[in-house]
Amino acid sequence: MKEKLTDLQNRDAAVIWHPYTQHAVAKPPVPIVRANGALLYDENDREIIDAVASWWTNTIGHAHPYLADAVHAQMLELEHVIFAGFTHYPAVELAEKLLPHLPEKHSRVFFSDSGSTAVEIGVKMAIQYFHNKKIKRKKLVTFDNAFHGETFGAMSASGDLGLNNAFAEHLFEVVRIPEPYSGQEEKSAAVLREVLENNDVYAFLFEPLLQGAGGMKMYAAAALDELISICCKADVLTIADEVMTGFYRTGKMFASDYLTQKPDVVCLGKGLTAGSLPLAVTTCTEEIFTAFLSDNKKSTLFHGHSFTGNPTGCAAAIASLEILEQEKTQRDIRRVCRRQEEFLQKLKPYKNVENVRRCGTILAMDFKAEGKTDYFNNLRDRLYDYFLERDVLLRPLGNVIYIMPPYCITDGQLDKVYAVIEEALESGEF
């Protein structure tokens, strides 16, 4: 029998086009009216555990009062102002607060409003860096399984995950290399060396340590160090897309903190405002910034979104950084890492799950399934429904299940997430 739709679901069905949703078959969306910590609440006060941090954005928990107060105060003071020709305290203070956490050579922060735009800007910085220096470089190198976002540059840079087929002919050419997964490190480095031989590459763009949408696939920092150092020797810029890995997702502030070789450009989004407001940044070295300084106006980076440097977003990001620095949050991050590791060990004996892996606060596993381990594996919808029926929001990538909670998730809530996964594994249904 079909469930009766709520008023909000009916109104939604009439006017909304949802992201990543096949409306011909999708179930009605769950109406959420409020949230607190790691919990989402529907109209009937049903509690759902947000075990995917609302598309990997939420670090410190939903509806954090300190952050909400900071945003409210900023709204009353200065909600927005054009950022070309003008500046304001929240943007400067945020940049000053962020830069000490970034690789030492980083000295400039460029604002935008999503992870995709942060990546676009990183790629544009790299292209124009060589253009301004009158050096011909035409190619971007990325990983096979990469995911860098939704805009055309970001789609071009992403690997073939089957999401962009309709646009394939409209994307610019990118050279893909295999990830340095365990056992593949030498192959990855060898392919990169070969690709760089023609001196035609302007940048190497990568998700450090962890391929997110590509299936939560992990690789070692030392292997990435080797690739960055190969690029460095060839005078190729390196761009770390830390949109997902930033803000302690990997256990450290940035995944780049695990590296000895540091990227020239870093892209940040999602957790920058703890998932509260759309803000992103692309940071770079003084050397890159300097290449845009000239008497010739055409050397300018002609890029700016309406909401570039939005003060309210910046205020949210400053508040988020302050909360992240608190001892309680740091303890929570360590606790989530430890709990995830304990659950990883517990999962090992299960025969129907494989490649159980962890990177900092993120735990991922492949449910054994017929067909390929990819985004379109049929198990996805069945698993999603199974978990949601048990009040846990887990959004499998095909047959890959991952847990990426807000750090404030309680032990009890984590126990429940783990319990429903074990229940699924023991159910005989999957």
Ligand X SMILES: Cc1ncc(COP(=O)(O)O)c(C=O)c1O
Residues that bind ligand X (CB under 6 A): 114-116, 119, 147-150, 207, 212-213, 241, 243-244, 269-270
In the bound complex, what is the minimum distance in angstroms from residue 113's beta carbon to ligand X? Answer: 8
In the bound complex, what is the minimum distance in angstroms from residue 43's beta carbon to ligand X? Answer: 27
Cα dihedral sign, 77-82-87-90: positive
Separation between Cα atoms, residue 211 and residue 192, nearest integer Å: 18
Q: Is the Cβ of residue 147 or residue 367 nearer to ligand X in the bound state?
A: 147
Q: Is the Cβ of residue 196 or residue 210 nearer to ligand X in the bound state?
A: 210
Beta strands at 32-36 and 217-218: parallel, antiparallel or unpaired: unpaired
Q: Is the Cβ of residue 147 or residue 375 nearer to ligand X in the bound state?
A: 147
On the 0-12 / 13-18 / 19+ scale of CB atoms within 10 A, 144 is middle
Separation between Cα atoms, residue 59 and residue 61, nearest integer Å: 6
Long-range contacts: 92-96, Cβ < 8 Å, 24+? Answer: 93/314, 93/318, 94/314, 94/317, 94/318, 94/321, 95/281
Residue with the shortest CB distance to ligand X? 115
In the bound complex, what is the minimum distance in angstroms from residue 56's beta carbon to ligand X? Answer: 6
Q: Is the Cβ of residue 270 or residue 339 nearer to ligand X in the bound state?
A: 270
* Residues, the chain: 430
**Token duo for residue 333:** 């991050």
Separation between Cα atoms, residue 53 and residue 217, nearest integer Å: 18
Q: Which amino acid appears at position 286 of this protein?
A: E
In the bound complex, what is the minimum distance in angstroms from residue 270's beta carbon to ligand X? Answer: 6
In the bound complex, what is the minimum distance in angstroms from residue 213's beta carbon to ligand X? Answer: 6
Q: Is the Cβ of residue 263 or residue 269 nearer to ligand X in the bound state?
A: 269
Q: Which amino acid appears at position 13 of this protein?
A: A
On whether the CB atoms of residues 171 and 152 are closer than 8 A, the answer is yes
Q: Is the Cβ of residue 116 or residue 308 nearer to ligand X in the bound state?
A: 116
Q: Is the Cβ of residue 239 or residue 353 nearer to ligand X in the bound state?
A: 239
Which residue stretches of 220-362 are H helix? 221-233, 286-290, 311-325, 327-347
In the bound complex, what is the minimum distance in angstroms from residue 346's beta carbon to ligand X? Answer: 27
Q: Is the Cβ of residue 185 or residue 241 nearer to ligand X in the bound state?
A: 241
SS3 of 292, please?
Answer: coil
Separation between Cα atoms, residue 84 and residue 203, nearest integer Å: 27
Give the CA dihedral 363, 368, 372, 377, nearest 10 degrees.
-80
Helix (H) or strand (E) holding 382: helix 379-389
In the bound complex, what is the minimum distance in angstroms from residue 73's beta carbon to ligand X? Answer: 26
In the bound complex, what is the minimum distance in angstroms from residue 196's beta carbon to ligand X? Answer: 23
In the bound complex, what is the minimum distance in angstroms from residue 404's beta carbon to ligand X? Answer: 11
Q: Is the Cβ of residue 115 or residue 313 nearer to ligand X in the bound state?
A: 115
